[in-house]
Amino acid sequence: MQSSKIAGIGYYVPKNIYTNDDLSRFMDTNDAWIQERTGIKERRFADRLEETTTTMGIEASKIALERAGITAQDVDFIVFATLSPDYYFPGCGVLLQREMKMKEIGALDIRNQCSGFVYALSVADQFIKTGMYKNILVVGSEKHSFAMDFNTRSRNVSVIFGDGAGAVVLQPADREGQGILSTHLHSDGADAEILAMYYPGAHANKWMRDQPGYPDQELGGLFMTTEQLESGAALPYMDGPAVFKKAVVKFPEVIKEALEANHLGPQDIDLLVPHQANLRISQYVQQLLGLPDEKVFNNIQKYGNTTAASVPIALCEAWEAGKIKEGDLVCLAAFGSGFTWGSALIRW
C-alpha cells in the first residue's frame, strides 16, 4: 500500500505580539504567574477586522504549496482543522477553496480541537494510501482572540491561547519506509464538559437551565439572556488541573503506542513535536520518555496554545531551523478537548 509523505510545509502567525505584561493591563495577572503555570511569554493575535481563520490558513497554505512544487490547481482534496471557524457553518475548507480559486474538489472540516491536525493528517494519509488522491492540503488554523474574555474571571483560559496557522501538502512517498509510518487516534467523552464551550449548541440550553438568569418562558429559553452573557455562560470553560492530569497520562501513552507499532523505542526518536498545550506538560512527557532537550521542540513560549495550528506551526519552525533532516524519525502528538488524542510517526 502506498505510504504518504509531507512534500511541503508552511506556517503563518499574525504580526501583533501580546506579552504577558500586556495582558496584565486587562486582568489581574502577571508575567511570573503565567510563565510558572504555562511557560508562555507571549502570543500572537490576528487583526480583528482583516485576518480570519481562513485567511491565515491560506497564507500558510501558499508557502506549503510552493515548497511542494505545486499550485492550488493541483490540489485534489482539502482537510481543514479548526475549533474557531469563520462561520458556525459552512466550514473553512470551502472558504479556502473559494479564495484560492481551486477546482471543485472535496473539502473536509475536522473539529477535534487541539488534536485536530493529527486527526486531519491521519485522514489525509488514508486517502493517499488508497490511491484516491495525490495532492492533499492539510490545514490547521485558529483565531482564538476574537472569542476570548480578557477579564480576570477568564484568565486561566485567555492567557493560554494565541492565533496562527500551519499547513502541509501530503503526497505519495517516493520510496518504501519514507513518510507517515502510522497514526493512532483515540477519544473518551466521559469528561467532555471539563474543557468545553457550551454555547452555541443544542445541548447548551439543557446545561443552562441551572445557570443564573435562565428565563422561564418557553420561547425565551431558545436564546441567551443579557444575564447569561454577563455571567460568562457563552465563554470557553476549562478545569485546568483536571485537563493537566489527563494529558500527562495520554500523551506518553499514545507516543509509546506509535513507537511499539513500528518496533521502535523512545531512543529512536530524532524529534518529538508535541501539541503546544502547556510547557509543563511537554517537559513532563520529555522526562518520562528520557529524551534530551535537543529531541523535543517547543515554541509555546512565543505563540501560546494555537490548538489545531500548534503542531504544524511547530513542525514547520523545527524544519526551517534545520532540526529535521531527511531520514529523521519525527513523532507528532496531541491531546485536547473531547477528550481526543493522537500521534503520528513519520520517517522524514
pLDDT tens sequence across 69-106: 999 999 999 999 999 999 999 999 999 999 999 999 99
In a domain, 123, yes or no: yes
What is residue 84's DSSP assignment? S
Mean pLDDT of 287-315: 98
Position with higher pLDDT, 192 vs 138:
138
Q: What is the amino acid identity at position 42?
A: E
Lowest mean pLDDT across 45-59, 99-113, 223-237, 240-254: 223-237
Q: Which domain holds residue 212?
A: 198-234
**Do both 82 and 215 map to the same domain?**
no
**pLDDT of 220 higher than 50:** no
The CATH number of the domain holding residue 138 is 3.40.47.10
**Do both 225 and 150 map to the same domain?**
no
**Do both 142 and 224 map to the same domain?**
no
In a domain, 117, yes or no: yes
**Do both 12 and 115 map to the same domain?**
yes
- What is the grid cell recorded at 340? 481526543
The predicted pLDDT at position 345 comes to: 98
**Do both 230 and 123 map to the same domain?**
no
In a domain, 42, yes or no: yes
**Do both 155 and 9 map to the same domain?**
yes
**Do both 142 and 32 map to the same domain?**
yes
In a domain, 52, yes or no: yes
Mean pLDDT of 193-207: 69
Distances in whole angstroms, Cα of residue 95 to Cα of each of 58, 91, 105, 163, 342: 10, 7, 12, 18, 27
**Do both 138 and 216 map to the same domain?**
no
Domain end position, chosen among 189, 210, 234: 234
The predicted pLDDT at position 159 comes to: 94
In a domain, 134, yes or no: yes
Total domains present in the chain: 2
Mean pLDDT of 10-36: 96
In a domain, 256, yes or no: no
Domain end position, chosen among 189, 212, 234: 234
**Do both 36 and 111 map to the same domain?**
yes
**Do both 25 and 167 map to the same domain?**
yes
Position with higher pLDDT, 50 vs 219:
50
In a domain, 63, yes or no: yes
Can you tell me the distance from the alpha carbon of 330 to that of 7, in angstroms, rounded to the nearest whole number?
Answer: 15
**Do both 158 and 17 map to the same domain?**
yes
The predicted pLDDT at position 156 comes to: 86
In a domain, 58, yes or no: yes
**Do both 223 and 134 map to the same domain?**
no
Band the pLDDT of 210: cuts 50, 70, 90: low
SS3 content of the chain, % helix, strand, coil (to 5): 40, 25, 35
Q: How many residues make up the chain in this entry?
A: 348
CA angle 274–279–285, rounded 5-degree value: 55
Band the pLDDT of 219: cuts 50, 70, 90: very low
Question: Catalytic amino acids?
Answer: 114, 275, 305
